[in-house]
């Protein structure tokens, strides 16, 4: 592309009042999503053995809307006793009614749940956005459609398991304890529950403390779908409730998605027991841009890779590596594009970047911004206005960073990108692989041969080529190194929930 048609030249303001000066002049009229139809109760109980019951100690905690800091609802805190009751219900269901149901019948339940999710998709999207801060456009167009897709996909496998493992006899594992994080609340639930049920297991699931709402709506769907009591149990609570699940003696498998730190605690806890486990942990994905890449497309890819869901994405591309010849151009275009991102009310359909999920995460990300500056990196933040109330952080990038910097090595889990350069493919591979993580990465180039070289040399579970953040239930997902153990999704996801 010639310089004359570059994006920079297109929206460079020609006068102070130019409509093309996004930052100061061009504003979209707000387009708020109507949230009034989404029913929210004042209080949510535990879902155990097909019923909504009060927690044994009668304790509740608050779930906030991170965009307004207002309280949405009280959520039950499950104790050891409650977790034990949930496990007993799951065991009883596993040994009773559920095990006598054929794969074909299990599929019917899964299809029913998938269709009910579709029917209630707008309500679920609104709640996901209110509780977690992600833009409604993302929860509406990405999260919830993928949730339904996962249930449809695994419904299709439920009566065909012997074809997934030809010549062998797959059997369910038993009672599965599942613990999920706050970045994709309902989607992580779907990744865990859909394959578990398809393979004939029963489940005790704990959502993350800050985002329990859609899991409790899902419990209503499960009840309305007529699933036998005890097959799915949902216990809300904080880390301690998660630990009660991990340490419960009658759980056969732990499926965990969350931070590497908690993943290590869980791995120690299950060591020496006969519990199976899969761990989906943190990441620090590299985005490698070669000088022959379609630059504008690559810039869009970078924006998607790091600012999607405020950067609260385990597979986020948080480290940009750009070949020296195009570095200036890519950084300039990237900064221009940053200025066009709309940060604010997650329920507004124009919003590109919503609220940071919680005060705690807001503080963590801000801490890393300080660390970056202290390490000597140059910080660039978009000049957009952000709401006074709520947890918002401007899209940020750091240039002039070193491979050893903490902001390059540690997962920030926010809208923060570091930018490095490279000269040769081998240098890019070395830098890309030089973190403790290995979850996802991306490469942009015109040459298929370079894609193959990078794809086979970068130690990450996923390598996207000329795109990023593409998800599909048929595709396995998981990490190398400290990014985790095991795979979810696709046929690999069935193997994680069966004994062969
Ligand atoms: P986290 O602090 O590890 O929490 C994950 C879940 O574990 C939450 O439900 C949490 O409860 C619970 N938990 C906390 N301490 C526990 C303990 N000692 N024993 C058992 N459970 C415990 O992670 P997060 O901050 O919620 O999520 C962000 C992390 O998840 C990032 O590192 C991200 O990369 C990772 N992630 C990975 C994937 C993947 O597929 N690889 C996908 C999404 C996210 P509370 O909510 O009450 O703390
Ligand atoms: Mg919340």
Looking only at the bridges linking them, the beta strands covering 317-323 and 285-289 are: parallel
Three-class secondary structure of residue 206 per DSSP: strand
Contact (Cβ atoms closer than 8 angstroms) between residue 140 and residue 122: yes
| pLDDT value for 408 | 98
Residue 40 region, left (φ>0) first, then alpha (ψ -120 to 50), else beta? beta
Ligand 1 test: best mutation among 134, 181, 246, 436, most atoms within 8 Å of CB?
A: 181
Give the pLDDT of residue 6: 40
Contact 494, 166 (CB under 8 A): no
Which residue has tokens 């044994």?
56
DSSP label at residue 291: T
Mean pLDDT on 435-448: 98
> Does residue 30 have a pLDDT over 50?
yes
In order of their start, the domains of the chain are 4-30+283-465 (3.40.309.10), 43-281+479-499 (3.40.605.10)
pTM across the whole model: 0.94
Give the residue whose CA is nearest to atom 48 of ligand 1: 239
CA of 274 to the centre of ligand 2 (A): 35
Instruction: Please write the tens of the pLDDT for every residue from 298-349.
Output: 999 999 999 999 999 999 999 999 999 999 999 999 999 999 999 999 999 9
Rounded distance between C-alpha atoms, residue 148 and residue 139, angstroms: 12
Active site residues: 280, 314
Among 70-79, 94-103, 178-187, 402-411, name the one with the lowest average pLDDT: 94-103
CA distance 411 to 459: 17
- Residue 142, both tokens: 């990405």
Read off the pLDDT of each residue in 76-94 and give the average, rounded to a whole number. 98
**Residue 158 class from Cβ within 10 Å (0-12 exposed, 13-18 middle, 19+ buried)?**
buried
Mind listing the pLDDT tens digit for each residue in 138-184?
Answer: 999 999 999 999 999 999 999 999 999 999 999 999 999 999 999 99
Say if CB 315 and CB 281 are below 8 A apart.
no
Q: Where do we find the tokens 């579709």?
A: 118
Q: Are 384 and 339 in contact (CB under 8 A)?
A: yes
Spacing of C-alpha 312 from chain mean position: 7
Residue nearest ligand 1's atom 10 by CA: 239
Q: Is the CB of 83 under 6 A from ligand 1?
A: no
Q: How far is CA 399 from the centre of its chain?
A: 26
Does residue 179's CB lie within 6 angstroms of at least one atom of ligand 1? Answer: yes
Element containing residue 171 per DSSP (H, E): strand 171-172
Condensed to tens digits (0 to 9), the pLDDT of residues 214-226 reads 999 999 999 999 9
pLDDT band at 92 (very low <50, low <70, confident <90, very high): very high
Residue-level pLDDT at 436? 97
pLDDT at 8: 36
HSE on the CB side for 242, CA within 13 Å?
20
In the reported structure, the alpha carbon of residue 34 is separated from the centroid of ligand 2 by a whole-number distance in angstroms of 19
pLDDT class for 26, splitting at 50, 70, 90? low
Instruction: Output the pLDDT for position 99.
Output: 87
Q: Percentage of residues in the chain with pLDDT exceeding 90?
A: 93
pLDDT exceeds 90 at position 464: yes
Q: Is the pLDDT of residue 11 over 70?
A: no
Can you tell me the mean pLDDT for 23-31? 72
282 lines ligand 1 (CB under 6 A): yes
Cβ of 482 below 6 Å from ligand 1: no
What are the distances in angstroms from CA 465 to CA 153, 293, 297? 24, 11, 12
3-state secondary structure of 460: coil
- pLDDT tens digit string along 235-260? 999 999 999 999 999 999 999 999 99
Q: State if residue 280 touches ligand 1 by the CB under 6 angstroms criterion.
A: yes
Q: How far apart are CA 235 and CA 113, in angstroms?
A: 19
Closest C-alpha residue for ligand 1 atom 39: 280
21 CB-near residues (< 8 Å, 6+ apart): 11, 13
Give me the residues near ligand 2 (ion), CB cutoff below 5 Å: 63-64, 131, 210
CA of 181 to the centre of ligand 1 (A): 4
How many angstroms separate the CA atoms of 483 and 183, rounded?
16
Long-range contacts from 96-99, C-beta under 8 angstroms, 24+ separation: 96/228, 97/228, 98/200, 98/202, 98/228, 98/230, 98/231, 99/172, 99/200
The per-residue pLDDT for 27 is 73
In the predicted structure, residue 21 carries a pLDDT above the cut 50: yes
Distance CA 10, CA 243 (A): 54
Q: What is the pLDDT of residue 13?
A: 39
């Amino acid at each position: 592309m010639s310089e004359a048609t570059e994006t920079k030249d297109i929206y460079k303001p020609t006068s102070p009042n130019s409509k093309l000066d996004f930052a100061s002049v061009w504003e979209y009229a707000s387009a708020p999503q109507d949230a009034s139809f989404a029913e929210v109760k004042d209080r949510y109980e535990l879902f155990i053995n097909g019923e909504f019951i009060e927690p044994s100690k009668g304790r509740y905690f608050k779930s906030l809307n991170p965009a307004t800091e207002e309280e949405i609802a009280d959520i039950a805190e499950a104790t050891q006793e409650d977790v034990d009751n949930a496990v007993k219900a799951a065991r009883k269901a596993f040994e009773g009614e559920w095990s006598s149901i054929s794969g074909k019948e299990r599929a019917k339940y899964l299809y029913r749940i998938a269709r009910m999710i579709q029917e209630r998709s707008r309500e679920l999207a609104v709640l996901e956005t209110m509780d977690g801060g992600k833009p409604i456009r993302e929860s509406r167009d990405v999260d919830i459609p993928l949730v339904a897709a996962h249930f449809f996909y695994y419904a299709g496998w439920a009566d065909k398991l012997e074809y997934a493992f030809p010549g062998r006899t797959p059997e369910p594992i038993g009672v599965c304890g599942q613990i999920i994080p706050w970045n994709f609340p309902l989607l992580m639930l779907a990744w865990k529950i859909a394959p578990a049920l398809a393979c004939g297991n029963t489940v005790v699931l704990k959502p993350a403390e800050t985002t329990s709402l859609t899991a409790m709506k899902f419990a209503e769907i499960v009840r309305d779908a007529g699933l036998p009591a005890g097959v799915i149990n949902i216990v809300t609570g904080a880390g301690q409730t998660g630990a009660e699940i991990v340490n419960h003696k009658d759980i056969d498998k732990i499926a965990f998605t969350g931070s590497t730190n908690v993943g290590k605690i869980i791995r120690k806890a299950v060591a020496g027991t006969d519990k199976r486990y899969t761990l989906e942990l943190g990441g620090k994905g590299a985005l490698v841009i070669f000088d022959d890449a379609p630059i504008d497309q690559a810039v869009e890819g970078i924006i998607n890779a790091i600012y999607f869901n405020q950067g609260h994405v385990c597979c986020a591309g948080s480290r940009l590596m750009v070949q020296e010849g195009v570095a200036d151009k890519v950084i300039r275009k990237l900064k221009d594009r940053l200025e066009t991102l709309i940060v604010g009310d997650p329920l507004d359909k124009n919003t590109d970047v919503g609220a940071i999920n919680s005060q705690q995460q807001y503080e963590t990300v801000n801490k890393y911004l300080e660390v970056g500056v202290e390490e000597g990196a140059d910080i660039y933040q978009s000049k957009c206005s952000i709401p006074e109330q709520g947890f918002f952080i401007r899209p940020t990038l750091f240039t002039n960073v070193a491979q050893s910097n903490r902001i390059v090595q540690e997962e920030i889990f926010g809208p923060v990108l570091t930018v490095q350069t490279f000269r040769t493919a081998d240098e890019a591979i070395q830098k890309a692989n030089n973190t403790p993580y290995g979850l996802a990465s991306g490469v942009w180039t015109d040459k298929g041969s370079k894609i193959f070289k990078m794809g086979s040399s970068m130690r990450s579970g996923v390598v996207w080529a000329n795109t990023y953040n593409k998800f599909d239930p048929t595709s396995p997902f998981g990490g190398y190194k400290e990014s985790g153990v095991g795979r979810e999704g696709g046929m690999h996801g069935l193997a994680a929930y069966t004994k062969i």
